[in-house]
A and B are shown apart, each in its own frame.
Chain A
Amino acid sequence: MESAKEAHLLVTELYDPANQRNPSKVNEIQARLQQLQKGEHGWMIADVLLREPSTHHRFIGALTFTVKINVSGKEIKEDAALEAMQHLVNHFVALVTEGEQAMVIRKLASSLVALFMQPATPWKRAVLQLAASLANGGYMSEDGCRALDFQNTVIPALSQKQVMALLFFSNHLAEETMRLGGDKYDQDVVAEGDPDIMHDRRGMSVSVRVAHNIRDAFLLSQYVLRQVSQQATVPELGTEAMNSWKTWLVVHGNHPLPTTEDIPDDVSHLKTLCAHDIIEAVRVPDLRDSAVSVLTSVMESRLVSLDSKAKTRLSQILIKAISAREMSDEEEDGDHLTLIDLLVAFAYYLDLDLFREHLSPPNSQLLEILHNVFKSSGYAATEDMATPRVLEFWNETAEYLPDKLESDDPLFAVVKDQLAAVVLGLFNKLLYPDPEHLRGWTDEERSEFNVFRFEGCDYLLSIYQFLGVDLIRVFQESATSNLSNQDWRSFETAMFCLTYLSEAVDENGHADECLDAIFGGNTLTQIFTNAGAAIPLKARQTLVDAIGKYESYFKRHTPLLPGVLTILFESLNFEPCAQTASRSIQTLARSCSQALIGDIPVFLDQLDQFRVKPTATVNTMPRVLQGIAAIIYALPQDQDKVQPLERILRLLVQEAHTAREEGNASAYESARARGDLVLSCIASVGKGLQSTEIELTDDEVPEDESFWSSGPGTEVQRLIMEAMRLLIVDFPVDISIIEAACEILRAGYTEKSGPFVFPPSMTVDFIKSFPLGISGTDIIMATASSFLASYGSHSLQIRDEAVALISHVAQLFYTMLETPDLYDPETANAGIDFLERLLPRYHPVLFSLTSPLPSPSEDPGSQRPPILAVLVNFTLHALSRPEPLPIRSASTFWANLLALRPSASEDTVVLQQVLEQFMPSLCHTLIQQIAGRCARSDLVSLTDVLRRGIFKHMTIARPSLTAALDAIDAHVVDANGQQVPLLEPKEKSRFLESLFVARGARQQSLDLVRTFWLKCRGLSYDYAR
């Protein structure tokens, strides 16, 4: 009784308003209460609390029953379970009769379900037995209930409160069954193999016992729904009955009824009868929300099969309800949306049946509603939420139509016509709001509307496969007529649709005739160049985007290029259009470069005008220049390229001088922005001059490789180098400038000759000019790797440069090893990554670096270690530290080094020496890390090194790994409080032998290492798997 008193006090304190703002006190109370609930007096405490006058106490009493059943479930035998069941049922009946609050009844219902779920519970038709007990006013045995007529005698005898309580129980039983999953639960029990439990279950699993209740649960729902439809009971009961029906549908789907038992096989019929009643409930205002929600959910999940009567009735009710909403001219509300959701779910459910007899009601009316949604007022996805949902239905219908019907099926044509009709309604919904309306929208609303527009265009692409060029013609005619009328919003929408449809027609030319009608002739160019600012920016923006998207069309129609390029350059003047226009210029210039070489002077004049405008930014200028450079590249003779390139580069060098002056005047921000712009422009020129896929033919003269380095093109290269020097040396560089400079260097790595193919020393000097720890080291070292890779097939040509770069990295590593405070994970990662990438081609160079690392002080007394040793030691150092990226790059380096197979014998010898020298340190570092020190996410990369070492170099790896494992000396405290070794020698040797048995197999090795790591961390199981 002491425990019960304590529990009483604890519950009183738990609900005491004075403690509500004291979470630590509440936690303390809850912890103690849980202790009592789980303890030996748990049953008694539950019983006492359930008889208390306060609702809070009774609630916790019911909760205590659940806790105790779950904690002690495995210990309960059949007799005890039966006793507990009688006890609980009596409590339940008494509380319901006394008019207990719903929260306590629900909780007690969940206790009963928890008891039902125990394998030892001899309970089969729980819904019937509980109903009979409620009607009886106390517990009734299963045998006593067997002869009762549940449907006609038991349920009608129950009061509304009793029915509600029974529904709580029924619903909870179904939910709990769904949560556990019948098969899983049975497997768990069988796996435990408790012979008593197996005996007590008498061969009947929980899932089979649940199945015995399905029919009773549906009968209960049906009875309540009938009562509700006759207004003979309260709507709350109807809602509960509908939810119960839905949940039991899932259970029925997952638990087939036992065929050997004496259960009438009318469950499917009962399911449908309930569906009829719920469909009727859509008409009842108090039940509409629940009915619509439940029907939508079961149709989306295809949990129920509706007969033709139910389909017809649902169609009629939906048509009437939605039409009434439309007629009422009210603002869109949640009620309307839920009806639309049900309509869409029903349309999915009907599938192709919706299109059969499409001219007769009710299908014709349903289709009409599905089309009329597009005529509703408001912008989709922001003001009108129904349209996106209906569009999704049409989109899926279009996407799956070819899988469902052959094109010669008569129904195919019907569906196709319906899909085509959607386009007309959709067009109005795609109209972009005018600026004034747009100003009232939040960023999120703009984004939602734009997403809807793209979804609308996805639909157009889906139906293009059925409608073909006719679809393009619709938008072309709209575009041309609206252009004439200067209806810019409609013009913009038509062009927007055409832009998206370019994916389907640009390359194949199927719609060239339609496109001619828009882009042919001078109308478009004249309007867009003469009207200027009078044209809304959105329309201009969409047009310039469309021009870029139809690059193949313009490649086939080169005479149209001057006109559209005029529009594009004109559009560069408008800030919202400049970025799109520059992108389209770049695209067209690249695609049609051959056709545009005669216009280079015009382009350069346009560039002169553009570069001084505020819209000439780092987002636009480089693109325009890349386009112009692509045209220059198309000139047949190098000699012809010199003059235009010089003209561009002189302008850029002039800007570089200005940036430098700004830097000297401490205007760093401005200097950096200008410097970034200049270098980005030069890098884009480099990209524009990169060779395309066009191969040299026999007629063409091979390029003169010295033309740009020492011939007539020297000045071009000198200008590039000067701009770089001005903006790198003693300039306030930032990561954008470094990135742009690296792009300039990389532009020449893929070329045989050209103004961007610099002497190899330039890359080396550039990389060496940056100090340790500068932001952007990864980009710089990636450039070094690209540089070495570009000479991969003839690496000896740049041996000195490769040595210089590797030595530079070694200097950085040495500094970080000697001065730990200077350790920079980014530099470490980038440097090791550089080493790893040079291994395949440049390992002979790396292995030859056995001379001491040069000392800057020239002090003969301070001789440094060999370069190779510095590099290898640093990778081991990175491997032993906690930073994840250096661990990963060092792991990759070692994994590749261990797998390396040099072609030259002298390299093999050096590699063997390196491995023999460093294997003990490597193994020590690896074992220390996987013995619980490293993060779990590092295990994969560290295991890669381990398994490569074991598989490729077993002989030298074994002693090193044995020694490394022996060196683990961690201790833990055992249950007796004694210090014991974390790992026994046997465990260590078993781990090692298992790794060797795995012979480098990836998953097997990883599983072994993960288990070892968990053990070293003191975890008995892996919570994350």
Chain B
Amino acid sequence: MATQSYYELYRGSSLGLSLTDTLDDLINEGRIEPQLAMKILSTFDRVVTEVLADKVRARLTFKGHLDTYRFCDDVWTFLIKDVTFKLDNQQAVQADKVKIVSCNSKRPGEV
């Protein structure tokens, strides 16, 4: 089947950073080649995307004042002020401002 490409944005998450640090260590110790590390990161990109889509059931709602929004290169950006998040357990979390960056789950041109 055709290979789908995935966003690399989750590499910037704490999980992604830790994985990259570990891969760096393994390369530094001569235990793996960078090519394998690259493959592992590609797998990470795919798996995180799939797991977030399929497995995560947690929900939250939020309310706030939409300050700015834009849509550029298929990416929506919202800047929201005075935001209240309500989590599944009814816990509320406040934030003065929140930036939401949302990408299309399918990259342009993908099936």
Contacts and interface: CB of A to CB of B under 8 A. Distances in A.
Contacts of A250: 2, 111
Interface in A748-806: none
A503 B2 CA distance: 44
Given A451-B57, A454-B59, A936-B21, A1023 B37 contact: yes
Give the interface SS of chain A, mostly helix, strand, loop or mixed. helix
Contacts of A181: 109
A935 interface: yes
Given A303-B111, A451-B57, A1024-B41, A1017 B18 contact: no
Interface string A157-192: 000000000000000000100110100000000000
Contacts of B25: 935
A392 to B, nearest CB: 14
Contact of B90 (A583, A935, A937): A583
B34 A1021 contact: yes
A1019 interface: yes
A1024 B35 contact: no
B98 interface: no
A447 B57 contact: yes
B3 A179 contact: yes
B41 A175 contact: no
Contacts of B35: 1023
B111 A1019 contact: no
Q: Which of B3, B17, B41 has the most CB of A within 10 A?
A: B17
Nearest to B35: A1023
B102 interface: no
A932 B21 CA distance: 12
A301 interface: yes
A1021 B35 CA distance: 11
B57 A935 contact: no
A328 B89 CA distance: 43
A937 B11 CA distance: 11
Contacts of A935: 21, 24-25
B109 A936 contact: no
Contact of B24 (A247, A454, A503, A1017): A1017
A227 interface: no
B87 interface: no
Contacts of B38: 1023-1024
B111 A936 contact: no
Contact of A1023 (B18, B34, B59, B109): B34
Contacts of B28: 932, 1017
A1024 B2 contact: no
Nearest to B110: A301
Chain A's interface size range is 20 to 34
Contact of A937 (B20, B37, B57): B20
A233 interface: no
Contact of A297 (B20, B24, B90, B111): B111
Nearest to A246: B111
Judged by DSSP, the binding face of B is helix
A1024 B59 contact: no
A254 interface: yes
A936 B20 CA distance: 8
Nearest to A451: B57
A935 B23 CA distance: 10
B9 interface: no
Interface string A297-317: 100010100000000000000
Interface string A992-1022: 0000000000000000000000000101010
Contact of B1 (A175, A937, A1019, A1021): A175
Contacts of B61: 503
Given A301-B111, A454-B59, A1019-B34, A936 B1 contact: no
B24 A175 contact: no
A813 B72 CA distance: 49
B80 interface: no
Contacts of A936: 17, 20-21, 24
B37 A1024 contact: yes
B27 interface: yes
A1023 B39 CA distance: 9
Contacts of B111: 178, 250, 297, 301, 303
A178 B2 contact: yes
Contacts of B59: 451, 454
Interface in B69-92: 90
A566 B97 CA distance: 39
B85 to A, nearest CB: 14
A557 B2 CA distance: 62
A935 B26 CA distance: 12
B57 A1023 contact: no
B11 A1024 contact: yes
A989 B59 CA distance: 53
A463 B1 CA distance: 40
B2 A247 contact: yes
Contacts of A451: 57, 59
Contacts of A1023: 23, 27, 34-35, 37-38, 41
Contacts of B37: 1023-1024
Contacts of B27: 1017, 1019, 1023
B86 to A, nearest CB: 10
B20 A1024 contact: yes
Nearest to A249: B111
Contacts of B20: 936-937, 1024
Interface string B14-56: 0001101101110110000011011001000000000000000
Minimum-distance CB pairs A-B, first 8? A1023-B34, A937-B17, A935-B21, A178-B2, A1023-B38, A301-B111, A179-B3, A1023-B37
Given A179-B2, A250-B2, A1024-B37, 6 more contacts: A175-B1, A297-B111, A935-B21, A936-B24, A1023-B34, A1023-B41
29 contacts: A175-B1, A178-B2, A178-B111, A179-B2, A179-B3, A250-B2, A250-B111, A451-B57, A503-B61, A583-B90, A932-B28, A935-B21, A935-B24, A936-B17, A936-B21, A936-B24, A937-B17, A937-B18, A937-B20, A937-B21, A1017-B24, A1017-B27, A1019-B34, A1021-B34, A1023-B23, A1023-B34, A1023-B38, A1024-B38, A1024-B41
